[in-house]
Structure 1
Amino acid sequence: MMLLLKEILLQYGWIYYYLLLLPFHLTHCQAVDSQAENLLKQINKVSESLKRLHLVNGKFCHLQSRQDQQKLLKNLLESTTSQYYLGYSYDTSYEECTSIYASGSTSSGIYPIWLKERFQFTYVYCDMDLVSTQKGWTTIQRRMNGEVNFERGWDDYVRGFGNPSSEHWLGLENIYRVSRQTRFSINILGPINIKLPKVGFDLEDWDGMKAFVQYTYFRLKSKARNYELDVNGLDEAFKNIFSMAPISGFEFSTPDRDNDENNQSHCASKYKSSWWFHYCLETHLNGPYPRYKQPMTRKNIYWGRWQLFNPNNTALRFASIKFYYSRDES
């Protein structure tokens, strides 16, 4: 009997190896199932927390209508049931404000967006009211009253600070992740890629003069490259007034991290601001907040050549940076 079994194993050796590896395969499958189950539990906990924050906590009642709240929560809760399939993740949450607007939530306010690469939610201010043909702008920076101190170090600027409902900075790492978000379709026509976002600079001075300066291309490099920024494609309406790319090609500098190309001066320390400095600046929207009717200077929130737009060259009382995502099938 033993000889017969030996001959069978020699002739059908693959069966032997399969039987040998089967326990390891089963153990691996059980481990994957266990990890997926734990992840789903964590996602459900996050969803419940979001539900409490939106419907109970007053700090997050900036969604303008209960209908918007209920609609967004329904989609978020549904996404947790389909976040994982056979061990592979795919995203069904909103990754930026453009998608939130398209879903029918058209009121400006605070919304959670899903950072795929970090596997977490972050809160942003979605500007749905911006005077533009494109609706649903994701705010990554906003200055409006001087309540938040923007003279901070590297760690704060990487992490983010302030409150999305007022003055805030989303954080370099979050900005980097948001600018790389992509979403894929599940139909036979292939993936739908979100291209690199457009970026808009929303500006208003103390005289009430407003400008929305839009560029068609925004790309932020990683922390290893000190979040070097590439901005191109200035809106035709402003080409005769503002610089083509006032912050393009520069690394991010803070008072405690000198990454500018000025060998004679530390720009961030000199101007008490953290920004994409070169030698030293054509613009910086993170500078000290100006006093009422103060003239525009490099010592406060600054946008170069503003005097060509407003001859009074009045300081900016409001400044904000926003993303917009276009979709094209590929």
Structure 2
Amino acid sequence: MTMLLQKRKWLEHSWFYYYLLLLPFFLWHYKAVGSQAGNIILRVNRVAKSLKNQHLTNNKFYNLQNCQNQQQKAKQLARLNNHHYSSYLHTTLQKECTSIYASGSTSSGIYPIWLKERFQFTYVYCDMDLVSTQKGWTTIQRRMNGEFNFERGWDDYVKGFGNPSSEHWLGLENIYRLSRQTAYSTNTLGPIHILTPEVGFDLQDWEEMKAFVQYANLLLGPKATNYWLDLGGLNKAFRRIFSSGPISGYSFSTPDRDNDNNDHSHCASKNRSGGWFNGCVEPNLNGPYPKHAQLMSSENIYWGGWLNFNKNGTALRFVFMKFYHGKIRP
């Protein structure tokens, strides 16, 4: 019995020494596995980094390619502008809604028109349904629901803002160019004459009283004149109701640019809009949009002559300014 116990103790000690002898191998194996795992992680990181660099390279290539494409387009446009294709573009592309209607597109909606003096397209709302003997009116201003704030600065009124499908201001520079779209010469060597469009004001108040006020002659100056405006040839039906030139003979003013003829007040700032002002109680078609229960006043969309048309003094709900280019050259 004693010998068996001694043998058992010896075996237990021998296993201990056996494991002790194997310990360096286990440590080496653990280090090798860890090193291999580390190598795998390192290789994965390298691959990831390579893929990332490749992605960046592709982005740079795409941007470079896109830039080159834009440069090529610009060069092509410049070549077109310098050669006979320029004349082709100016004579073929539709330059206002009147010609669009004449071409067979008789549905009101958003259309691209070609501004030849700016050599670019812009989008406008073409009114093909206006009850008038003339069809195809190019809308340059729309007030219909108060969606957009018209109390804006000079730069916004020059560039334009809003949405042609809703409330919209085409922009003074575009309006000026649009007023010069139709030109002719009596002979090849003669001077160039500009046929300016007719101007219409399509108005409706909250009681659904409607009127369309039309002027036969328009003269709009360039930016150097602060877009000085002159209107003439008021439709006979409205001569007794509206003034002969409600916004005529003035430069354009905005809350941050005082160009009115009033030495005592800044009318655009007071009226919270941009417009052609002489005094501060003038037609203010870009004024704050009125609510249903409001009456017309100088604090919202205003046209004094409307009070002669509707004695209730109801505020205007819809105000649209439009051009018609259907004049026939002499």
Task: Classify the TM-score, shorter chain.
Answer: 0.7 to 0.9
Residues 193-252 of structure 1: CA deviation (Å, up to 9, x unaligned): 762100000000000000000000112101000001011111001011111101111000
1:16-165 to structure 2, matched below 5 A, reads 41-42=76-77, 85-86=83-84, 89-90=87-88, 91=90, 92-165=92-165
The Cα shift of 1:97 comes to: 0.2
The Cα shift of 1:270 comes to: 0.8
The Cα shift of 1:88 comes to: 5.5
CA distance in 1, matches of 2:81, 2:253: 38
Residues 10-39 of structure 1: CA deviation (Å, up to 9, x unaligned): xxxxxxxxxxxxxxxxxxxxxxxxxxx956
2:183–2:195 contact (8 Å) kept in structure 1:
no
Deviating runs (4+, > 3 A) in structure 1? 37-43, 82-90, 190-194
Aligned to 2:221: 221
Rate the CA distance shift 1:191–1:278 in 2: closer, same or farther, 3 A: closer
Aligned to 2:296: 296
Rate the CA distance shift 1:259–1:83 in 2: closer, same or farther, 3 A: closer
Rate the CA distance shift 1:127–1:206 in 2: closer, same or farther, 3 A: same
1:171 partner amino acid: G
CA distance in 2, matches of 1:225, 1:250: 10
Task: Give the TM-score, by structure 1 length.
Answer: 0.72
Structure 2, unpaired ranges of 5+:
1-71
CA distance in 2, matches of 1:192, 1:259: 30
CA distance in 2, matches of 1:278, 1:113: 32
CA distance in 2, matches of 1:127, 1:87: 30
Rate the CA distance shift 1:194–1:108 in 2: closer, same or farther, 3 A: farther
Higher helix share: 2
Residues 43-87 of structure 1: CA deviation (Å, up to 9, x unaligned): 9xxxxxxxxxxxxxxxxxxxxxxxxxxxxxxxxxxxxxx987457
Comparing 86-95 and 262-271, the one that deviates more = 86-95
Matched, 1:274 2:253: no
1:197–1:217 contact (8 Å) kept in structure 2:
yes
1:197–1:218 contact (8 Å) kept in structure 2:
yes
Give the length in aligned residue pairs. Answer: 255
**RMSD in angstroms over aligned alpha carbons?**
2.5
Aligned to 2:24: none
Aligned to 1:326: 326
1:224-235 to structure 2, matched below 5 A, reads 224-235=224-235
The Cα shift of 1:280 comes to: 2.1
The Cα shift of 1:146 comes to: 0.2
Aligned to 1:256: 256
1:193–1:327 contact (8 Å) kept in structure 2:
no
Aligned to 1:244: 244
Structure 1, unpaired ranges of 5+:
1-36, 44-81
Rate the CA distance shift 1:194–1:137 in 2: closer, same or farther, 3 A: farther
Rate the CA distance shift 1:195–1:140 in 2: closer, same or farther, 3 A: same
The Cα shift of 1:150 comes to: 0.1
1:192–1:329 contact (8 Å) kept in structure 2:
no
Task: Give the TM-score, by structure 2 length.
Answer: 0.72
1:290–1:301 contact (8 Å) kept in structure 2:
yes
Secondary structure at the aligned position of 1:327 is classed as coil
Comparing 281-290 and 133-142, the one that deviates more = 281-290
CA distance in 2, matches of 1:97, 1:39: 28
Q: Which has the larger radius of gyration?
A: 2
CA distance in 1, matches of 2:329, 2:262: 43
Secondary structure at the aligned position of 1:89 is classed as helix
CA distance in 2, matches of 1:328, 1:147: 38
Aligned to 1:75: none
CA distance in 1, matches of 2:147, 2:141: 14
Residues 81-114 of structure 1: CA deviation (Å, up to 9, x unaligned): x987457634110110000000000000000000
1:241–1:309 contact (8 Å) kept in structure 2:
yes
CA distance in 1, matches of 2:84, 2:311: 62
CA distance in 2, matches of 1:234, 1:290: 27
